[in-house]
Every structure is written in structure tokens, then in C-alpha cells.
């Protein structure tokens, strides 16, 4: 369902008081849903997972600043995240060492998908550091005796603007309207030939239609990544000293609409 005439909304962004402000980890997901459904998986699941990690983080000191972003207007064309990334100065963009996106992490017929930062599966390599972020999540799931699969940087979620600015990106995704394969069934169980989330953008995307095991493991993976990169970015390799300017014109996913967004910020 195409969304038209979105109401005005704002990003909500919080940042740790401590940590190096020139060496920042950003984690985010979108706070809106389509008109047709309540959006509990898309993306209430990502928002709640991030909130839980952010709450726990308040009890720890960090070396690198951690910025938590709840993006507005994703369903209307990635409005909030594009507004944010397109308005970063070159210095602000260079300070962000890594962006991690968590959009739909509890799909009922889930995969444990990791964005393909090294391009080995979908031939779309992310900026320097993206491959290492992918490998971090692969190692996390493998250490916990869980399978994982790559998912492509299709441009359908809020990492898109960060990729445009040459910022290392990664994250997790449990699937939307694509159907599960036999190979994925052997890794994750569920139902072959059925969409990862049959309630995607529909009324059934509610609290009763979530894979809580996937949600728990993905939230633990979020926590592990924050624990890693809030301390050190050494695992990402050397700093990429050049930020890619924001594109003047950008492609909006076919099921989205372009519209002006806004941004608000607070500290935690």
C-alpha cells in the first residue's frame, strides 16, 4: 500500500554523555508504521530491541559516543534518515565510524539476516568497515550455534542515506514479503514457500505475530555490537578519512514517497 500525505513527524535522537564525539557509533530503526497496520514487527521490534540496549547502556562508561536514532517517516520514503544524513556536515559524517540498522527483527517465519557488507552475496559492497561489521554479526551467531544468511543493501531501509555518505553500515533483518527457501528452512525452521512475515504492512502485524526467539537473539546481537564498538572500533580497520558528499538527487524505493522530514535530538 502506497502512503500519501504523511503527517509531520520528527526523528528522536539520543546520545551518550560520555565517549569520543569524533568517533561515534549510531544505531537506529524507524518509529513509524504504514496506515494499514500497527507495525509491531515493522519496526516496533527493532525499536524495542534498541531501547532495551540503550537502557542497559546507561549503566556503563563508553570510549566512543553511542548515538541512538528513532527515524521518522521511513514508510514514506526514508524521510527522517535521509533528512539527517543529507544535512550532516563533512566533519559530522566523518565522525560516524559505523551505522547499524535494525528494522524487523522478529518476523514470524524468520531468517537471521545480516546486511551483506562485503558484497560477497549480492555484489553491493558497503563502505570501508561494512564487511567487518557483517563478520562481527556472523561470528556472534556462529558462537551461539545459530545460522545466519546475508541480506542485501536494497535501499529499502534507513541505512541507505549512510551508505550514500560513505559511512560504514550494517545491521540485522529477519525478512518481509519474500518467501522462505528450503535451505533457509534447514537453518531456521519455519515454513517453506511462506513469506518471512505474512503480515508485512498488514493489520496482522501485531503483538500476537512475532517470533520471540528471533527477537531475543537479535536484541542480544545488538547488545553485543554496542558492547564491542562503544569500547573500540579497532575491528573495523583504519579510519576512512574521506566522506562521500550526499547526493543531490536520490532514488526512493518504489513503494515509498518522497516528503520533507525533520530532526530532534537529546542526550542520555
Query: Concatenated DSSP letters for 63-74?
Result: SEEEEEEEES-G
Contact at 8 Å (CB) between 255 and 2? yes
Q: Is residue 3 part of a domain?
A: no
Q: What is the pTM of this model?
A: 0.89
Phi, psi of 253 (to 5 degrees): -50, 145
CATH for 159: 3.40.630.10
Q: Is residue 2 part of a domain?
A: no
Q: What is the pLDDT of residue 241?
A: 42
Q: Using CA atoms in the order 164, 168, 173, 179, what is the torsion angle rounded to 10 degrees?
A: 60
3-state secondary structure of 89: coil
DSSP letter, residue 121 = T
Total number of domains in the chain: 1
Largest CA distance in the chain: 48
Q: What is the pLDDT of residue 9?
A: 85
Kindly give the parts of the chain with pLDDT less than 70. Answer: 1-7, 240-268
Q: Specify the residue for cell string 537453518.
A: 187
Q: Is residue 41 part of a domain?
A: yes
3-state secondary structure of 189: coil
Q: Is residue 73 part of a domain?
A: yes
Q: What is the pLDDT of residue 8?
A: 79
Q: Specify the residue for cell string 563478520.
A: 135
Q: Are strands 96-102 and 20-30 parallel, antiparallel or unpaired?
A: parallel
Residues of the domain holding 31: 11-267
Give the residue numbers annotated as catalytic, written as ranges: 74
Cβ burial of 82 (10 Å; 0-12, 13-18, 19+) is buried
Q: What is the pLDDT of residue 29?
A: 98
- Residue 164: asked if its preceding bond is cis (omega within 30°), the reply is no
Q: What is the pLDDT of residue 5?
A: 65
Angle at 148 between CA 144 and CA 151, to 5 degrees: 145
Q: Which among 208, 100, 197, 192 is positioned nearest to 153, based on CA atoms?
A: 100
Q: Is residue 79 part of a domain?
A: yes
Q: Is residue 120 part of a domain?
A: yes
Q: Is residue 4 part of a domain?
A: no
Q: What is the pLDDT of residue 203?
A: 98
Q: Is residue 229 part of a domain?
A: yes
Q: What is the pLDDT of residue 247?
A: 33
Cα separation, 156 vs 159, in Å, equals: 8
Amino acid at each position: 500500500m502506497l502512503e500519501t500525505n504523511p503527517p509531520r513527524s520528527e526523528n528522536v535522537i539520543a546520545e551518550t554523555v560520555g565517549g569520543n564525539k569524533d568517533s561515534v557509533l549510531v544505531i537506529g530503526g524507524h518509529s513509524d508504521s504504514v496506515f494499514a497496520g500497527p507495525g509491531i514487527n515493522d519496526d516496533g521490534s527493532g525499536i524495542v530491541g534498541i531501547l532495551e540496549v540503550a537502557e542497559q547502556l546507561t549503566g556503563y562508561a563508553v570510549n566512543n559516543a553511542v548515538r541512538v536514532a528513532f527515524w521518522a517517516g521511513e514508510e514514506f520514503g526514508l524521510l527522517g534518515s535521509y533528512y539527517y544524513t543529507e544535512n550532516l556536515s563533512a566533519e559530522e559524517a566523518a565522525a560516524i565510524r559505523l551505522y547499524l540498522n535494525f528494522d524487523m527483527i522478529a518476523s514470524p517465519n524468520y531468517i537471521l539476516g545480516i546486511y551483506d557488507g562485503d558484497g560477497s552475496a549480492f555484489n553491493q559492497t558497503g563502505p570501508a568497515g561494512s564487511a567487518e561489521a557483517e563478520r562481527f554479526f556472523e561470528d556472534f551467531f556462529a558462537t551461539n550455534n545459530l545460522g545466519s544468511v546475508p541480506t542485501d543493501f536494497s535501499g529499502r531501509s534507513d541505512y541507505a542515506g549512510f551508505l550514500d555518505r560513505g559511512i560504514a553500515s550494517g545491521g540485522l533483518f529477519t525478512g518481509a514479503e519474500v518467501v522462505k527457501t528450503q535451505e533457509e528452512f534447514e537453518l531456521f525452521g519455519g515454513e517453506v514457500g511462506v513469506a518471512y512475515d505474512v503480515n508485512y504492512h498488514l493489520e496482522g502485524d501485531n503483538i500476537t505475530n512475532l517470533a520471540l526467539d528471533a527477537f531475543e537473539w537479535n536484541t542480544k546481537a545488538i547488545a553485543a555490537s554496542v558492547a564491542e564498538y562503544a569500547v573500540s572500533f579497532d575491528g573495523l580497520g583504519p579510519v576512512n578519512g574521506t566522506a562521500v558528499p550526499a547526493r543531490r538527487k536520490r532514488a526512493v524505493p518504489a513503494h515509498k514517497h518522497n516528503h520533507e522530514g525533520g530532526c530532534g535530538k537529546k542526550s542520555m
